[in-house]
Structure 1
């Protein structure tokens, strides 16, 4: 991830929150994943659009990781 709003948002989320977000995304539970992002990021609460953008980036990153594991 480059130095974008999404990167800065991901950096605000502590490690345990990141693990929860990734687990939810992997399970296809996108709305709870966004809720977890907003909960773990703290104040100020991130904008919904930023969370959706981060969700999409994490989905792609997690998909690449699964392909790397399989190959």
Structure 2
């Protein structure tokens, strides 16, 4: 998966996001993405797109 936001996230955040995606917990996943310390913080549109990409990548 090629996604600049995903690539910039720390491993711990990626693991947490994937766990939340598996639970279909979009709001908490987006919170983790936005609070992961990226500068600038991803916008909501980027976060929703990343959630959808991860759900597809994880077979959901």
Secondary structure, counterpart of 1:63 in structure 2: coil
Aligned: 1:46 with 2:18:
no
Q: Unaligned stretches of 5+ in structure 2?
A: none
Q: Who wins on radius of gyration, i.e. which is larger?
A: 1
Aligned residue for 1:8?
A: 4
Counterparts of 1:62 and 1:26, CA distance in 2: 8
Q: Unaligned stretches of 5+ in structure 1?
A: 65-71
Q: CA RMSD in A?
A: 1.3
- Count how many residue pairs are aligned between Structure 1 and Structure 2: 60
Aligned: 1:55 with 2:51:
yes
Aligned residue for 2:28?
A: 32
Which structure features the higher share of helix residues? 1
Q: TM-score, normalised by structure 1?
A: 0.77
Q: TM-score, normalised by structure 2?
A: 0.90
Q: Deviations over 1:13-70 (max 9, x none)?
A: 0101000000011011110001101111522111110110110000000117xxxxxx
Moved >6 Å (runs of 4+): none
